[in-house]
Each structure stands twice: as C-alpha cells, then as structure tokens.
Amino acid sequence: MKKLIIIASFFLFSINYISGKEIATIVVDAGSSDRLETPVNICLDAITLEADSNLVVYELINKDKTPVRFQIEQSQNGRILSWIMSSHTKAKSKRKYVIENGKAANFDKAINIKNTEDAILISSGNDKVMEYHYGVKLPPKGAKYEFRRSGFIHPLWSPTGEVLTNIQPRDHYHHYGIWNPWTRVTFEGKSVDFWNLADGQGTVRFKAFNSLNEGAVYGGLKGIQEHVVFKPGYEKVAMNETFSIKLWDVKDEQSRKVWLWDFSSTMNCASDSPFIINAYRYAGFSIRATPEWNTSTSTILTSEGKTRKDADNTIARWMFCNGKAGGNQSGILFLSYPTNFNFPEPIRVWPERDKDVYMNFNPAKNKDWSLMPGKDYTLQYRIVVYSGEMTAQKAEQYWQDFANPPRISITMSK
C-alpha cells in the first residue's frame, strides 16, 4: 500500500512539473510615460506554488524567447518575483513575458553586500555604491562627545568612483551624509531635539538588522533605528523606525551604470506616548554633499522649475543636484512618493550664500505631524545617482517610473 502511495505521489508531481510548460503570461503596459530600465514585480504565490528552482522567465520578442534575469524574495505578502524591464520602453507600448517550468539559471550576483567592522558596504559588481554605518561614529577631535551617532549613509559614491557625501563638517558636526532625524518633537510634554546633537536631548541610534540581501537584480538591507530621548539618569526610546535600502541593477540610456535605490522608513511610537513632530525647517530625509559641490561647481533644479536661487521654502516632487567632483560630472536625483505625508513635500535647499550643498525633503517643515501609538507611518524615496548631466525631462521620467509604475496584467496558461 505504501508503495502505491509513493508511486501515485510521484505521478502527480510529474504532471505538475513538466520542463518547458508555460505557467503564465505577463503583459507590462508602459502607459503614458516612456520607461527606462524600470524595476517591476509581481506576487508569485498568486500564480504558482512551484519551487523557485523550477521556474524560468522569458521575454517574448516577436516569436523569440529571451531569458530574463529575475529574483525571488519571501515577503509578508508571499513570494515576490522581480526583474528589470530592460533598456528603453516607449509610452503606450507593451512588453510580454512568460513564466515557465524549467531549470532556473544560475545568475551571477549583480548587487553585493559586505559587512565591515562598523558598516555595510553595498556594491554593484566591483563598484562601491554606499556604506550604511551601524557602528557609532565618534566626533572629530575637539568636538563635543554628544556629536557621536550611528545610522547614516556615507560614503555615497558616484558611478565613476567619487565620494558625493560629507559627514561631520566643521560648520555642522551633526551633519551625517544622508540621514533622517527629526528636530522639534514633543514627547511626554517636553520638546526634544534629535537633530542638533550638541544639546544632548536625544539621538538616532541603529538597533538591529532584519535582513541583508544580495542578488542578480537587486540587493540591500532592512533594519531598525531608534529615536532615543536622554532623560536625567536614563534613556527612553520614543520612536522605532523600520527602514530599508534596495539597490537595483540598472543602466542609463547610454548603458552606463546608474545607482538607482529605494529608501523607505516606517515609523511607530515605541510607547503609549505620541510622537509629535512639530513644524521646523530642518528635519527629515537629508543630504550634506561633498564640499567639491558648491555654488560655482554645481546646479540644483526641482520639479517646479526652481533653482538654488529660489528653491528653498518651496514644494517639490523631485529635485536634483549636478556637480563636479574629482574632475568628473555626476549628480543625485531625489524622488518623493505621492503617499508621503504632506506631499508634494516642502524642501530645504541652502541658498547660494551658504556655498556648500545641503538639501532635504521635510514633510513637517510647515505642518505638524502627529504619530499616534499603535499606528505605522511610512515615507518612501527613490534616489538616482548618475554620471554626466540630468535634465528636467529625464527626472520627470524617473519620477513617473517610481510614482506611477507600469500596469501589469497576468493571464494563466491552460
């Protein structure tokens, strides 16, 4: 009897798994925008429960099938299948893909992760992209000890290898590359400053990693940071932040590498006390750029057509800075997501008199934001680090990719 059951089970498996059998057809509709090297993904569990190792993906071009690099990750919503809609896709056009049974290709890792003594290095092939610092960085000699902190990105490199961020500059020791603390917070009846560290009221501190991920299509990390209040004789965590960094393996229209990465921050109260972010000009997702970028070596443009002369105290969907560093031209484009609080977001851009480059998206710049216990609040951004120049048209195209991704339809095969 046992032998018959084993034979029957094998027979059923053989019916389910047939190499080359088509499982589903996927149509990606570009919609009204041109697309360039666009990340796309679908929930795989809704299509098949076949093992990941038994799946292959092809793009159908005329009658030819071209293998597609893909990556599968387990999430709270099941298995997510991701790939890049490669090269250029014209507006109102469609691209067709199929998922089949077959022996999955052994793709080389495009995005790599390395854990150093106090930081996670994310690389694209052999090229360094960024370091996320989880170790505490002490202040320079002569600066107050309170300026120490962890949980920030530096260096951020350009695709040609120049460092584009700056930390602990003499004029602002509390500036840390790319970072996102809140400045004026009401917590348990008192005002707490997590930005200006010298006052010793609070700080942002790395707590733990949830995951480190490298792969053929993307790689990155997920972790937890804490907004910590310093009280007489003890500390108290006021707000927990679950954050993620995901770097995609993409290129620009000239086939040059581009660092396209997504940053998300989900915040929730760490106690029964609300975390009230009061309106203030300095706070939120910020960059202090390399000192090689200044008034004479860089330019800034926003989605509303504002430049460095008039961008401060305006709102924007995106903004970028082009500049020269190490003799090479490169830049950083920041994209804000439509579901972010107070979108389109207020921005802070240092005017020309400040010489160096500082920029941020600050949803609480002109409006209080109350984070209440038991609720999650999420901010999402996409960053594009590129060689050469950026234009308003290309920036808008990148924003459309992020904010209004292509429409996907799935047809199950019979």
Q: Which tens digit of pLDDT belongs to each residue from 309-359?
A: 999 999 999 999 999 999 999 999 999 999 999 999 999 999 988 889 999
Flag the least confident range among 9-18, 32-41, 88-97, 388-397.
9-18
**Percent of the chain's residues with pLDDT above 70:** 95
Return the amino acid letter for 342: N
Report the share of the chain in percent with pLDDT over 90: 90
Residues 261-282 have pLDDT tens digits of 999 999 999 999 999 999 999 9
Domain count, the chain: 2
Shared domain check, 232 and 292: yes
pLDDT at 4 over 60: no
- Find out whether 178 and 166 touch, Cβ atoms under 8 Å: no
Model pLDDT, residue 6:
32
What letter would DSSP give residue 350?
A: -
Residue 210 lies in a domain: yes
The whole-angstrom distance between residue 114's C-alpha and the CA centroid of its chain comes to 18
pLDDT on residue 286: 98
Whether 329 is covered by a domain: the verdict is: yes
User: Which of the listed residues 56, 84, 105 is the one where a domain comes to its end?
Assistant: 105
Task: Quote the pLDDT of residue 7.
Answer: 31
The domain boundary, picked from 105, 134, 150, lies at: 105
- Considering the domain boundaries, does residue 1 fall inside one? no
pLDDT number for residue 19:
56
Pair (276, 256) in one structural domain: yes
State the average pLDDT over residues 153-175. 97
In a shared domain, residues 178 and 56: no
User: Do 244 and 187 belong to one domain?
Assistant: yes
Whether omega for the bond prior to residue 344 falls within 30 degrees of 0, making it cis, is yes
Same-domain pairing of 82 and 152:
no
Phi, psi for residue 228 in degrees, rounded to 5: -105, 130
Q: Mean of the per-residue pLDDT values for the chain? A: 93
Do both 269 and 316 map to the same domain?
yes
Strand order, beta sheet including 178-179: 111-115, 119-124, 127-133, 152-156, 178-179, 285-288, 358-361, 345-349, 315-316
Q: What does the pLDDT average to over 53-79?
A: 93
pLDDT on residue 195: 97
pLDDT of residue 15: 33
Q: What is the model's pTM?
A: 0.93
> Could you report the per-residue pLDDT of 233-263, keeping only the tens digit for each?
999 999 999 999 999 999 999 999 999 999 9
Mean pLDDT calculated for residue range 51-70 = 94
Strands 377-387 and 78-89: unpaired
Q: In this structure, are 149 and 170 located in the same domain?
A: yes
Write down the number of H helices and E strands in the chain.
2, 29
Same domain for 128 and 79: no
Residue 9 lies in a domain: no
For residue 130, the cross-strand partners are 122, 156
Domain extent at residue 171: 111-403
25 or 20, which is more confident?
A: 25
Segment 134-163 shows an average pLDDT of 97
CA angle 211, 68, 25 (to 5 degrees): 100
70 assigned to some structural domain: yes
Let me know whether 32 and 131 are in one domain.
no
Please indicate, yes or no, if residue 2 is contained in any of the structural domains. no
Burial class of residue 25, CB neighbours in 10 A (0-12, 13-18, 19+): middle
**Per-residue pLDDT for 20 more than 80?**
no
Residue ending a domain, among 63, 79, 105, is 105
Spell out the alpha helix ranges (H) of 252-315: none
Q: Which long-range contacts (CB under 8 A, 24 or more apart) does 228-231 make?
A: 228/202, 228/203, 228/204, 229/187, 229/192, 229/201, 229/202, 230/200, 230/201, 230/202, 230/203
Same domain membership, residue 118 and residue 53 = no
**Model pLDDT for residues 208-217, shown as the tens digit of each residue:** 999 999 999 9
Question: Which band of pLDDT confidence, cut at 50, 70 and 90, is reported for residue 77?
Answer: confident
Determine the 3-state secondary structure of 253 from DSSP. coil
- Read off the CATH number of the domain in which 361 is found: 2.70.98
Same domain for 314 and 177?
yes
Q: Quick one: 246 exposed, middle or buried, by C-beta within 10 A (0-12, 13-18, 19+)?
A: buried
Average pLDDT for 103-132 = 94
26 lies in the same domain as 63:
yes
